[in-house]
Amino acid sequence: MVAQALAMANATLASGLPPLPEYTLHPLPALVPWLPDKYLVLALPVAAYWIVSLLFHLIDTYDLFPDYRLHTPLELLQRNHVSHREVLQDVVLQHVIQTIFGALLAWFDPEPTFGKEDHDVAVWAQRIRIAQRAIPAVLGTLGLNPSAVAKNLAGSFPSISGALAGGQYPWLVQTIVANGDLVTAPAFASWEILFAKFIYWVAFPAIQFVFAISVVDTWQYFWHRGMHMNRWLYTTFHSRHHRLYVPYAYGALYNHPVEGFLLDTLGTGVAYLLSGMSVRQAMWFFTGSTIKTVDDHCGYALPFDPLQFITSNNASYHDIHHQSWGIKTNFSQPFFTIWDRVLGTMWKGDVSLKYERQRKTAERKAETEALKPQFLPPELKPEPVPSSEPSSEVDSAMEEVPQVALRRSPRKKASSTSQQSAGSLKNLRERVNGSLQGRGPNVLGLESTH
């Protein structure tokens, strides 16, 4: 290892570049002393999922922002085809699967270390120095004399002069030990080190995040769209998620286990591996992706929610996909809408009338249900008709009359029965209307249930 480092130092000196510093690797201490980072990265997304979901559940329960709801509480009760308990079970199952899968991958990951950061920064500084060698040629193509320009700036702006001269900084030197001897070697300019640190600590990680986001968006778009285009895939796997016509936060990962693993667990895992993120970068990426997914299913268009303004792929956008009239559009998730735009699957047009029609349908259905005796408050339920017992031998004899004798005047009996039913329904409607005068819609207890 020492011989290799000396060889690299000699090669660096021969190239005229500042040498790279030596380094020693040390185990990276865990953020949480009792939990290694490779397992913390699995726990954080699960914790974030339930914390954010609980927040939106409280907003739902106490109806804190009714003006920003995408659907009314009545729609939530009537239109979904799955119970809250079933949703909870499937989400917990998916979290168990993704945690087991992540733990298996973490078993093969090398232990994280630190101590090489200054060396890696110097590598980027060398690349910056090499890139400066192209500046004279570029200036020459523009009709400028780089040597003359550099000479004119040498007194006032020496760093700029050195860069225009092709990365020539003869006054920047340092003393190092090479092969046991003290030798003079080139040194980096301060701006080169600052620029290299910016690349290493900010720019390159940002590029990794953007690349990982692009991988996830691409992975999920084509798998998601494929599950809608292929009938078998839809009916076998993806239709389960679309039992939620009115999405809510903790139903974001309500999927068939196979779909949950394929789209979410495997998709983000591939993005993490291809981007070359560190474990601590992955903590931000996995947790952020989870929070974004929950927010996209929250059921609210909140004007103060930053996640709904970073991109146009937000709760309002994804909610269209959950409606029967928008199910073949808006496949993009969870970050950007690029693929929908490029491939023409983005919903176009106003949706306000469609949402209003759905709200009115839910209200009419609730009114219809309200007129059914089993849904009425106790004081409005009609009194049951007592069963009459035979009070005399004459009554008993009348009940024993053959059925044929009762069929002589079916029209008269039907007419009588119809009149009695109509009268009863009229009386019931009048009692309901009279009772509901001055009461809010909460008389049926529907809007307080979420």
DSSP assignment string, 283-302? HHHHHHHHHHHHHHTSSB--
pLDDT value at 198 more than 60? yes
Residue 308 is assigned to a structural domain of this protein:
yes
Q: What's phi and psi for 34, nearest 5 deg?
A: -95, 0
* Judgement on whether residues 141 and 61 belong to the same structural domain of the protein: no
Tokens of 262: 């394929």
Least-confidence region, from 42-46, 405-409, 415-419: 405-409
User: Residue 431: its pLDDT value, please?
Assistant: 52
User: Residue 368: its pLDDT value, please?
Assistant: 81
Tokens of 391: 């009070």
User: Residue 437: its pLDDT value, please?
Assistant: 41
* Judgement on whether residues 76 and 125 belong to the same structural domain of the protein: no
* Judgement on whether residues 50 and 123 belong to the same structural domain of the protein: no
User: Residue 423: its pLDDT value, please?
Assistant: 52
Residue 444 is assigned to a structural domain of this protein:
no
Residue 293 is assigned to a structural domain of this protein:
yes
Residues of the chain with pLDDT > 90, as a percent, come to: 67
CA–CA separation, 441 vs 74, rounded Å?
Answer: 11
Q: Could you say which of 178, 194, 210 is where a domain stops?
A: 194
Task: Outline where DSSP puts E strands in 162-219.
Answer: 173-178, 181-186
pLDDT value at 433 more than 90? no
User: Residue 105: its pLDDT value, please?
Assistant: 86
CA–CA separation, 414 vs 105, rounded Å?
Answer: 75
DSSP state of 401: S
pLDDT value at 421 more than 60? no
pLDDT value at 13 more than 70? no
User: Residue 418: its pLDDT value, please?
Assistant: 46
Helices within 80-203 (DSSP H only) = 84-108, 117-131, 135-141, 146-153, 158-164, 190-198
* Judgement on whether residues 202 and 185 belong to the same structural domain of the protein: no
Least-confidence region, from 178-182, 337-341, 442-446: 442-446
367 pLDDT band (50/70/90 cuts)? confident
User: Residue 162: its pLDDT value, please?
Assistant: 92
User: Residue 278: its pLDDT value, please?
Assistant: 93
Residue 246 is assigned to a structural domain of this protein:
yes
User: Residue 439: its pLDDT value, please?
Assistant: 41
106 pLDDT band (50/70/90 cuts)? confident
Residue 16 is assigned to a structural domain of this protein:
no
* Judgement on whether residues 157 and 305 belong to the same structural domain of the protein: no
Closest CA to 340 of 224, 211, 252: 224
CA 191 to each of CA 19, 138, 188, 386: distance values in angstroms, whole numbers, following the listed order: 17, 21, 8, 97
* Judgement on whether residues 205 and 189 belong to the same structural domain of the protein: no
Residue 206 is assigned to a structural domain of this protein:
yes
Q: Could you say which of 325, 353, 381 is where a domain stops?
A: 353
User: Residue 243: its pLDDT value, please?
Assistant: 95
Q: What is the mean pLDDT of the chain?
A: 84
Residue 362 is assigned to a structural domain of this protein:
no
What is the H or E stretch that residue 361 is in? helix 352-370
User: Collapsing DSSP states into helix, strand and coil, what is residue 383?
Assistant: coil
Residues of the chain with pLDDT > 70, as a percent, come to: 79
User: Residue 233: its pLDDT value, please?
Assistant: 96
pTM reported for the whole predicted model: 0.78
Task: Kindly tell me the number of DSSP H helices and DSSP E strands found in the chain.
Answer: 20, 4
pLDDT tens digits for range 220-254: 999 999 999 999 999 999 999 999 999 999 999 99
User: Residue 443: its pLDDT value, please?
Assistant: 36
* Cα end-to-end span (Å), the chain: 65
Closest CA to 243 of 300, 235, 46: 235
pLDDT value at 424 more than 60? no
pLDDT value at 155 more than 70? yes
How would you class 53 by CB atoms within 10 Å of its CB: exposed for 0-12, middle for 13-18, buried for 19 or more?
Answer: buried
pLDDT value at 219 more than 70? yes
User: Residue 201: its pLDDT value, please?
Assistant: 97
User: Residue 178: its pLDDT value, please?
Assistant: 78
Q: Range of 136's domain? A: 117-194
* Judgement on whether residues 309 and 249 belong to the same structural domain of the protein: yes
Residue 360 is assigned to a structural domain of this protein:
no
Residue type at 291 in one-letter notation: I
Q: Could you say which of 143, 162, 194 is where a domain stops?
A: 194
Mean pLDDT value of segment 357-366: 90
* Judgement on whether residues 209 and 86 belong to the same structural domain of the protein: yes
* Judgement on whether residues 323 and 176 belong to the same structural domain of the protein: no
Q: What's phi and psi for 142, nearest 5 deg?
A: -90, 5
User: Residue 270: its pLDDT value, please?
Assistant: 95
pLDDT tens digits for range 108-151: 888 899 999 999 999 999 999 999 999 999 999 998 898 899 88
8 A C-beta contact, residue 311 and residue 295: no
Residue type at 108 in one-letter notation: F
pLDDT value at 32 more than 90? yes
* Judgement on whether residues 64 and 160 belong to the same structural domain of the protein: no
* Judgement on whether residues 268 and 327 belong to the same structural domain of the protein: yes
* Judgement on whether residues 162 and 273 belong to the same structural domain of the protein: no
Least-confidence region, from 36-50, 90-104, 410-424: 410-424
The total of structural domains in the chain comes to: 2
